[in-house]
Amino acid sequence: MVRSIVVLSVIDAIAEDVRSQVLAQELAAGTPLTEVEVATRYDVARATAKAAIERLVSEKVLVRKNHKTARVVTLGPDDARDIYLTRSYLEGEAMRQLAKRREVPEAAKAANEEIALAAQQGRWDTADADLRFHTAMISALGSPRSSAAYGSLAFEVRLCLSQLEASRLLSPEVIAADHAQIIADIESGDPEAAAAMLHEHLARARESVVKALGGQPGPEATQPSSALTR
């Protein structure tokens, strides 16, 4: 049987490795990355290192101000709240539209099954599946611009989810239950219930991330999930 593989360019491979290190907190927030350092670390030409850094800056993995050295992005409590506010705008309307069509993408169901299994096994490594659940919902709208808008947040969202995963402030059981209720509300054709559950879910995650980042969380962080009390 012929197996298909994905061939990455050197720039893609460097960018993926740096992303992974940032998410694993092996590269701390604020760490500088120069072209010389990247070229030396990966044994590539300066031009390749520059292109990789530019890619990472465009993805918000690195930040660079006034042509200074690029540094690993630093998220604070205010950043987290703004990221989740933007998510609420995009995803809330997405839930309404999907509920009107009673359409839940299979990819979202599969992602939540992974989270539920992790909960059953006592595991906390759910960030990737969590992001796939929400991304699948946006993709199901069939709107390239909506997907692009959500995609522009992808790394920052994933970074927030890695904070939740590392801090263990929001259990996989609660995440899976919230997602399952969103799915049920969409399938029952209740747009406002689906949007309300989504907003509750994001508010709890938002304030938990704020706490993980050293901020003062709002009451939503400890609000019991209504999906578990029905």
Rounded Cα distance, 100 and 76, in Å:
36
Structural domains in the chain, sorted by start? 10-72 (1.10.10.10), 77-228 (1.20.120.530)
pLDDT at 5: 42
Rounded Cα distance, 217 and 117, in Å:
28
> How many beta carbons lie within 10 A of that of residue 6, not counting itself?
5
pLDDT at 25: 87
Residue pair 41/3 in contact (Cβ under 8 Å)? The answer is no
* 96: its two tokens: 């309404």
pLDDT at 24: 87
pLDDT at 65: 85
- pLDDT by residue (tens digit) across 132-190? 999 999 999 999 999 999 999 999 999 999 999 999 999 999 999 999 999 999 999 99
pLDDT at 86: 96
- pLDDT by residue (tens digit) across 27-67? 999 999 999 999 999 998 899 999 999 999 999 999 998 87
The mean pLDDT value for 1-14 works out to: 67
